[in-house]
Amino acid sequence: MAKNRLQELHDVGQSIWLDSIDRRMLHDGELDRRIRDDALTGMTSNPTIFQKALASSNAYDEQITEAEEIDAVRDAEDREGLTSWQVFELLETTDVRDACDHFAAVYSSTRGADGYVSIEVSPGVAGSADATIEEARRLWKTVDRPNVMVKVPGTYQGAIAVRRLIAEGINVNITLLFAIQAHERVIDAYLAGLEDRVKANKPIDGLSSVASFFVSRVDTEIDKRLDALITKAAPAEKERLEMLKGRAAIANAKLAYRLFTQKFAGPRWEALAKKGARVQRPLWASTSTKNPKYRDVMYVEELIGPDTVDTMPPATIDAFRDHGAIDRTVDKKVAAAEGLLKEIEAVGISMEEVTEQLLDEGIASFQKSFDELIAGLESKIGSLAPGGK
């Protein structure tokens, strides 16, 4: 029998995480099947994922009803009731805790190197390190599992939060990374947080972190800008611009991996590694192909390599299992990747401008999903209440 392509992907050193969570898969055996058959070793969540899960399922109705019954008792006793935000946090922490338990065997067998489930701080705290830290602490304490990771956005304030959270012994997944400079900031924050723990005589061998570097969204934006240039270009120039489409995202991620290999080498890192520190693995996010003209697993195939994670939605996992090609690619043709990005800059597209825009849009998108999630939850609470419709 031929080996599952996903198992082969795992065997070359890349962890496969599921970019999805819902209560149904936690209880109907699907998640356990994927862990067993597809070498799944982790899971990520975000406001958009939870918004879809709550909107498409009645699996949460019983817990919502129980929470509202408790709420009614509090009201009768003149005590402060639960807000919609608190009800949501109750639902998501329950799911993440249960998911952590499903991955407990992976976490144990890898001695804490894998088996993590991510839970994200709300988008509203992205501009404040203190607010991010406060919320991260609460989520960490509420889930209360060693294999949970708290997701923090890769902003300037997020990097400050990363250092302090790592210093406190909280696993961190830094999300919405698009720029190489932002990636370097969070690597430095992780290393500094580990050093802070060493100075405080605290262990660092049980900590884990990933840096979620987003991929396909880069091509979506750059392709749009290339198309605008193509409409105005001379025929010879149009062909050159067309050749640049669909290539920037992978090139950008390859440079991120090169940075990772550079930063986790040398005396500073070796001093931490001797005390049991783990590298902060690059995690490739947004690896589903948005443009139907592109191969549906291209962002997975071109970023395969050791000490990496690829978080994929179910459809991308299924596609790779069906026809994905396995080869170590993440550190190949890096000079060509660098040259491609220079060429994109030369035609007038600023990578700095693109990545800053994508970060802002990412936070705004998650905020929109969160607002819709809370509105949908309030509607569901109303429909489940006695006399509700």
- Report helix, strand or coil for 93: helix
Interatomic CA distance for residues 204 and 226, integer angstroms: 46
| DSSP sequence for 143-187 | H--TTEEEEEE-SHHHHHHHHHHHHTT--EEEEEE-SHHHHHHHH
Query: Position 302: which residue type?
Result: E
Helical residues (DSSP H) of 29-179, grouped into ranges: 30-37, 47-55, 61-76, 84-102, 104-109, 129-143, 156-167
Task: Kindly name the residue from 52, 141, 151, 224 that is annotated as catalytic.
Answer: 151
Q: Return the structure tokens found at 199.
A: 């100075």
**H or E element in which residue 339 lies:** helix 334-346
156: number of Cβ within 10 Å: 10
End-to-end CA distance of the chain: 53
Interatomic CA distance for residues 223 and 201, integer angstroms: 50
Interatomic CA distance for residues 20 and 43, integer angstroms: 7
- Of 131, 111, 115, residue with least CA distance to 123: 131
CA distances to 73, 168, 304, 377 from 191, rounded to whole Å, are 48, 13, 24, 39
> CA-based diameter of the chain, in Å?
77
Contacts of 326 (CB under 8 A, 6+ apart): 5, 8, 9, 12, 301, 304
Q: Return the structure tokens found at 37.
A: 């058959």
Interatomic CA distance for residues 379 and 389, integer angstroms: 10
293 counts as catalytic = no
Q: Do 41 and 114 meet the contact criterion of CB atoms below 8 Å apart?
A: yes
Interatomic CA distance for residues 313 and 288, integer angstroms: 7
Contacts of 247 (CB under 8 A, 6+ apart): 219, 340
Interatomic CA distance for residues 294 and 24, integer angstroms: 32
**Residues with catalytic annotation?**
151
